[in-house]
Amino acid sequence: MVARAIFGIAKRGFGLLGRKSKSSPVINSVKPGKNLKKKRDVQDSVVKSKDKTIAVLNEEGKRNVRTNVKLSDTNKKIAEIVDKK
């Protein structure tokens, strides 16, 4: 009776016999990015034009440009546009 119960438990996956892994699949590699040079060039030009604009403004204007035109959001949008082309 005990042997049957142990075999039944092992058969269901609770013991060492026939236990199945429930882990998720492993990522073997990460795909490289696309159009990295184009994205970087456009982002650099955006930063240069933003710096030129800020140089002309007073302190309040500089603060407004820095807070309203966030560089990270701009870079994400540029990356999406370059990827579409």
How is the chain split into domains, by residue range? 32-85
Please report, for residues 23, 29, 30, the alpha-carbon distance to residue 26 in angstroms, rounded to integers and kept in the order given: 9, 9, 11
What distance in Å separates the CA atoms of residue 37 and residue 44, rounded to the nearest whole number? Answer: 11
6 with 15: CB under 8 angstroms? Answer: yes
Percent of the chain predicted with pLDDT > 90:
11
Query: Widest CA span of the chain, in angstroms?
Result: 90
Q: Give me the pLDDT at residue 2, please.
A: 53
Q: Give me the pLDDT at residue 73, please.
A: 87
What distance in Å separates the CA atoms of residue 15 and residue 11, rounded to the nearest whole number? Answer: 8
Q: Give me the pLDDT at residue 45, please.
A: 92
Specify the pTM.
Answer: 0.54
Summarize pLDDT for 9-41 with one digit per residue, the tens. 555 555 555 555 666 777 788 888 888 899 899
Kindly report the CA angle at 73 between 72 and 75, in degrees rounded to 5?
A: 65
Q: Give me the pLDDT at residue 19, please.
A: 54
